[in-house]
């Protein structure tokens, strides 16, 4: 008895996006098969359970073999073993380095060390993300950090060059690296309303205005380290609240400019001195490492919470901070000190609206 068998031979590596997502999410082959069955794939394709099991295992083997190349994405582009179209290569890389916002919020600002990695079991339980996926995401953060920490040049450009990520994902990884390097506290209860997108927005402004790279493009770690000279210069702002006449003049300039423009003008006028003292005190303490780490905690306590209690809309916060900074340049003694009073000095974390200051949501990269 003879049997006929149709055989197709090709050299293009097949990538099933759905199975790739299950693999990235940390599901075992058995769990992945069960999820595929529940999706109705057997009815759609007419395949048997055995064929589905074999297909899933085959894809998982392929992804395991590709993983070492995904650790250094340029190698995936230049290797000749797996024939994968460029568009598929980009998809594999982007999704491998994607992350869950719930996970990144748990590790943001923490040292990317073995100590933090030991907490992944608890993070997995808390977030509902599989432990395997938590480990992949953590290892990705650590890998990117290790590669770019000693490099000169733009942090975003270095990440894009060495990991071939999209601009948006590279910017978010830059924020993760920046926060890990400076160890900013983000886990306190009063900061939980802030999303990763909120922190990433702040990181982008700080990299552009507060780092060594904002002053000198030839220094090492230019986008990683805060400019200590700049932080020292901020001490000169203390006169804004220590000198009563200057404080009164600053208040007068801000109130004159904003009269009729703020919905909370009366609250702002009555609370101006306390708000100004809060902002200046936060700024003048940034020469100490602990105060740098507590920057967001202090800003929420000294500025955000008072504004929240008076029901300031985000538009009024923006107007006030812009005018607060601009008015300083009109004061005697500050006209020739543009560095000491940079426009983003008074840029605290956003108030708890769900839209970040840049006008859109960010942070969740699950695709």
Read off the pLDDT of residues 81-99 as tens digits, 9 standing for 90 and up. 999 999 999 999 999 999 9
pTM, full prediction: 0.86
Sorting pLDDT into bands at 50, 70 and 90, what band is 218? low
For residue 7, the model assigns a pLDDT of 58
Which residues, including other chains, have CB under 8 Å from residue 187's CB and lie 6 or more apart? 106, 108, 109, 110
Mean pLDDT, residues 188-217 taken together: 88
Res 187 pLDDT > 70: yes
Provide the CA 69 distance to its chain's centre, in angstroms: 25
Sorting pLDDT into bands at 50, 70 and 90, what band is 224? confident
pLDDT in tens, 113-146: 988 888 999 999 999 999 999 999 999 999 999 9
For residue 363, the model assigns a pLDDT of 40
Average pLDDT over the chain, rounded to an integer: 88
pLDDT in tens, 295-328: 999 999 999 999 999 999 999 999 999 999 999 9
Per-residue three-class SS string for the chain: CCCCCCCCCCCECCCCHHHHHHHHCCCCHHHHHHHHHHCCHHHHHCCCHHHHHHHHHHHHHHHHHHHHHHCCHHHHHHCCCCECCHHHHHHHHHHHCCCCHHHHHHHCCCCCCHHHHCCHHHHHHHHCCCHHHHHHHHHHHHHHHHHHCCCCCCHHHHHHHHHCCCHHHHHHHHHHHHHHHHCCCCCCHHHCCCCHHHHHHHHHHHHHHCEHHHCCCCCCCCCCCECHHHHHHHHHHHHHHHCHHHHHHHHHHHHHHHCCCCCCHHHHHHHHHHHHHHHHHHHHCCCCHHHHHCHHHHHHHHHHHHHHHCCCCHHHHHHHHHHHHHHHCCCCCCCCCCCCCCCCCCCCCCCCCCCCCCCCCCCCCCC
pLDDT in tens, 37-61: 999 999 988 889 999 999 999 999 9
């Amino acid at each position: 008895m003879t049997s006929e068998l149709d055989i197709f031979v090709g050299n293009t590596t097949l990538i099933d996006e759905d199975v790739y997502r299950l693999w990235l999410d940390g599901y075992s082959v058995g769990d992945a098969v069960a999820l595929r069955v529940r999706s109705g794939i057997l009815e759609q394709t007419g395949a048997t359970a055995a064929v589905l099991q074999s297909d899933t295992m085959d894809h998982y083997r392929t992804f395991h073999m590709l993983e070492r190349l995904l650790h250094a994405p340029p190698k995936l582009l230049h290797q000749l073993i797996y024939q994968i179209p460029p568009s598929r290569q980009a998809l594999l890389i982007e999704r491998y380095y994607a992350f869950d916002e719930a996970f990144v919020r748990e590790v943001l600002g923490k040292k990317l060390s073995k100590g933090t990695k030991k907490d992944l079991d608890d993070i997995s339980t808390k977030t509902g993300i599989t432990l395997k996926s938590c480990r992949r995401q953590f290892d990705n953060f650590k890998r990117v950090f290790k590669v770019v920490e000693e490099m000169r040049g733009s942090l975003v450009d270095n990440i894009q060059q060495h990991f071939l990520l999209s601009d948006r994902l590279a910017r978010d990884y830059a924020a993760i690296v920046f926060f890990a390097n400076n160890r900013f506290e983000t886990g306190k209860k009063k900061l939980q309303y802030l999303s990763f997108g909120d922190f990433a927005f702040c990181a982008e402004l700080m990299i552009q205005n507060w780092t060594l790279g904002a002053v000198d493009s030839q220094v090492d770690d230019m986008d990683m380290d805060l400019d200590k000279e700049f932080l020292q210069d901020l001490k000169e702002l203390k006169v804004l609240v220590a000198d009563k006449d200057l404080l009164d003049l600053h208040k007068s300039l801000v109130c004159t400019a904003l009269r009729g423009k703020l919905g909370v003008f009366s609250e702002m006028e009555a609370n101006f001195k306390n708000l100004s003292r809060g902002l200046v005190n936060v700024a003048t303490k940034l020469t100490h490492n602990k105060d740098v780490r507590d920057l967001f905690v202090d800003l929420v306590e000294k500025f955000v919470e008072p504004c929240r209690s008076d029901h300031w809309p985000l538009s009024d916060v923006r107007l006030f901070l812009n005018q607060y900074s601009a008015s300083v340049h009109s004061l005697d003694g500050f006209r020739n000190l543009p560095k000491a009073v940079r426009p983003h000095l008074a840029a605290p974390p956003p108030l708890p609206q769900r839209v970040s200051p840049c006008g859109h949501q960010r942070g969740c990269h699950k695709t």
